[in-house]
Each structure stands twice: as structure tokens, then as C-alpha cells.
Amino acid sequence: MSTLAQRAVASLPVKPRLASGLVIGGSMLLALAAAALLAPALSSGDPNAQNFEAILQAPSLAHPFGTDNFGRDVFTRVLYGAQIDLRIGVLAIIFPFLFGSLAGAVAGYYGGWVDAVVMRTVDVITAVPFLVLIIAIVSFLGSGEMNIFLAIGAVGWVTYSRLVRGEVLREKNLEYVAAVRSLGFPRRRIILRHLLPNAVAPAIIFLASDVILVILTTATLGFLGLGIRPPAPEWGMMISEGREFLSSGWWVAAMPGFACMYAGLAFILLGDGIADILRVRGQ
């Protein structure tokens, strides 16, 4: 490293706060996952139990989150919904993140026709309105979780590839890359060990918001009637169904909305924490 860079690194203050995002976000997430797993024990046990004597009751000791228009306990539904939404949110972004980052790094590094092929594919996919694709797949195969994964997988990797490619284009001309190349390292190693960890920071930051975007996309699909099959207690569907009752029972849509916010906050803090670590290590 040049003396200028050495001085830059040396001037960095020590960061104990690095851990805080990771710790807070991680523990929030663990708490949520635990609550989801322990849902049968923590709640009334049946998210579909209807009770027409107790329609749209405000939050109380008996029903901490109130009841909905069928008399179902909202707290129970939110906990069982956590199982569904955490599962969808986490699983649906794995493929897009991994595949997209790799594709973007490869495209950015190699350039030329490789770049052209990847980026033109990205163009075609982003040119197809996301909803058209989703509706097509879901109408064709039927509604449900699996098909949401397929649709999001087919389309979601695009953002990651563009973010990573942008960073790689910038990074590959930096000194340290030239330094490493002059040492004779193979390209694959350069990409995987050196470029990717640095270039992937914006992708990881986006990942955190992407989990929430996935959950909300599922909600939008529910809004259009193409989501998880009712009467499943998926948060997005609950918010969508609760739209009718904003004035007579605001808790029906609000509670799953708060659950979304909680989960979102947790993922974002976690993402920030990870990004902070990566950023320092990459220097």
C-alpha cells in the first residue's frame, strides 16, 4: 500500500460501535424467530379460530392485539404469520443475492462481451414490468409460496448485479487491484477474495431493505389477490384484508404493519452491522 493509503487507514478511529448494529439487529431478529417458533405456546394456538361473539374487539388483556372481523385473535395470527413471513423473506432473497452479486462482479470485471450479455439480460428483465411477470407465473401455476419464490428469484437478482457491477467498475482500477494482479494472482481469486468483499457492501445494505421489499411484494400480491392462499395469516395479507376496517378496527391492519416494521428494523440494523465490518476489512 502506498504511504498515502497507509496514513488514511491509520487515521481511522477505532470502532467499538461496529458491533452495536450487529448486536441489536441480531438480537431483535433472534427474538422474533423465537417468538415465531414458540407461537403455539405463546398464543391461543389456533390462528383460524373464529368467534362471532367477539368481532372487531379492541386490544385488551384477553386479546393483546384485538380481534378481527371473524373474531380471530390478531396476536395469534401475527405470531403464526411471523413463521410465514420470515421464511418467505429470508428464502426469497438468497438466490437473487448470491447469483446477482456474482453475475455483477463477473460482468464488471471482465467487461467486453461478458458484460454485454449479462447487462442485456438485465435490460430484458427490467424491461418486463415486474408485476406482469408475477401475475403471469402465478396465474399459470397457481397462487402460493413456491411460485412467489420462483417469480422473485427470476427478477430480483437484477438489482444486486447492477449494484455490484457499479462498484466493481470503480474498484478494479484502484491501486490495490493492480498490486495484486502484478503479484500474479489468478483472476478468479481476485474477484472472489479481493473485489467481491469490497464491492458487495452496497449489495448487503440493499439486502436488508430487500427482505422487507419481498415481504411487501407478497402483500401487494395479496392486494391483487395473487398472494398466499387465505386464510393463511401472512402479514401482508392481513394488512390488505384489514384495509376495510381502518376506522372500525385499526388494529387489524396496524398490528401486522408494526410487526413488519419491527422485522424491517432488525434486518436493516443487521445489514448495517455486516456492511460496517466488510468496509473496514476491505481496506
Partner 1 sequence: MRATYRVVALVLAAGLGLLGLGPVPQNASAQQFKKVINFGVNRGAENLDPVTMDANPDLWAFMQIYQQLVRVNVKGDGFVPDLAERWTTSADGKTWTFFLRRDSRFSTGDPVTSSDVVWSLRRAHDLKDGPWQWALEDVQDISAKDDHTVVITLKEPWAPFLADISLFSNSILSEKVFKNAAQEQISNKPVGSGPWMLTDWKKGEELVMKANPYYFEKGLPKTPELHIKYIPDDNARIIAVQSGNVDGIDYPPFSRVAELKRDPRLDMQLNPSTAVAHLSLNTREAPFDNVKFRQALATAIDRYAIVRAVCFGYCTAATTFLPMTTPFFNKSSKGYVYDTAKAQQLLKESGVKTPVTVKVLFWANNPVHQSTAVVVKAMWSKIGVNLDLEPLDRAAATQRYRSNQFQIYITGWTNDIPDPSQLGAYELGFTQSQSYHSGYHSKEMDDLLEQGQREMNTDKRRDIYYRIQDLALKDSPLIWLYYAPYTIAISKKMTGFVQMATGPWIFKDVAVAQ
Partner 2 sequence: MHLLTYALRRLGQALPVALLVTVLIFLLIKLLPGNPAAAILGDRASDEAVRALNHQWGLDLPLWQQYGVYMRNLVTGDLGQSLRYRTPVAALLPHRMVVTLFLVVYSLLLSVVIAVPLAIIAATNRDRWPDQAVRALITLPLASPTFWVGILLLIVFALKFRWFPAAGYGEGFSEHLRALFLPALTLANPFTAVLARNLRSSLIDTQRTTFVDFARAKGLVPRDVLFRHVLRAALLPIVTLIGVRLSYAIGGSVVIETVFALPGLGSWMVESILSRDYMVVQTLTLAFALAAILVNLTTDLIYPFLDPRVRMG
Q: Which of 4, 10, 11, 52 binds partner 1 (CB under 8 A)?
A: 52
Phi, psi of 279 (to 5 degrees): -65, -45
What binding mask, one character per residue, do residues 207-226 give for partner 1 by CB under 8 A, x or -?
A: ----------------xxxx
Q: Taking CB within 5 to 8 Å according to partner kind, which of partner 1, partner 2, none is near residue 130?
A: partner 2
Mark residue 184 as left, alpha or beta (left: phi above 0; alpha: psi -120 to 50; beta: remaining): left
Per CB under 8 A, does 244 bind partner 1? yes
Per CB under 8 A, does 44 bind partner 1? no
Whole-Å CA distances, 264 to 15, 62, 257: 25, 28, 10
158 residue type, one letter: V
Per CB under 8 A, does 10 bind partner 2? no
Per CB under 8 A, does 254 bind partner 1? no
Q: Taking CB within 5 to 8 Å according to partner kind, which of partner 1, partner 2, none is near residue 111?
A: partner 2
Per CB under 8 A, does 61 bind partner 2? no
DSSP designation for 47: T
Q: Taking CB within 5 to 8 Å according to partner kind, which of partner 2, partner 1, none is near residue 136?
A: partner 2
131-164: burial string, b at 16+ Cβ within 10 Å, e else? eebbeebbeeeebebebbbbbbbbbbbbbbbbbb
How far is the C-alpha of 248 from the C-alpha of 92, rounded, in Å?
34
Asked if 47 and 76 touch (Cβ cutoff 8 Å), the reply is yes
Asked if 257 and 172 touch (Cβ cutoff 8 Å), the reply is no
Per CB under 8 A, does 152 bind partner 2? no
Report the sign of the C-alpha dihedral through residues 205, 155, 262, 36, in that order: negative
Per CB under 8 A, does 40 bind partner 2? no
Q: Which three cell numbers stand for residue 85?
A: 413471513
- Binding part of the chain for partner 2, among 63-71, 77-85, 86-94, 154-162 by CB under 8 A, reads 154-162
How far is the C-alpha of 238 from the C-alpha of 254, rounded, in Å?
9
Alpha-carbon torsion angle 134, 230, 92, 207, nearest 10: 100
Compare residues 47 and 256 and give the one whose CB is closer to partner 2.
256
Instruction: Give the footprint of partner 2 on residues 206-265 (CB under 8 A).
Output: 206, 209, 212-213, 216, 219-220, 223-224, 236, 239-240, 243, 246-247, 253, 257, 260-265
Whole-Å CA distances, 60 to 54, 76, 91: 12, 14, 35
Q: How many residues bind partner 1 (CB under 8 A)?
A: 24
Q: Write out the residues near partner 1 by the rule CB under 8 A.
A: 48, 50, 52, 55, 69-70, 135, 139, 142-143, 223-226, 229-231, 241, 243-248
Q: Write out the residues near partner 2 by the rule CB under 8 A.
A: 2, 4-5, 7-8, 12, 17, 108, 110-112, 115-116, 119-120, 122-124, 126-133, 135-136, 139-140, 158-159, 162-163, 166, 169-170, 173-174, 201-202, 205-206, 209, 212-213, 216, 219-220, 223-224, 236, 239-240, 243, 246-247, 253, 257, 260-265, 268, 272, 275, 279
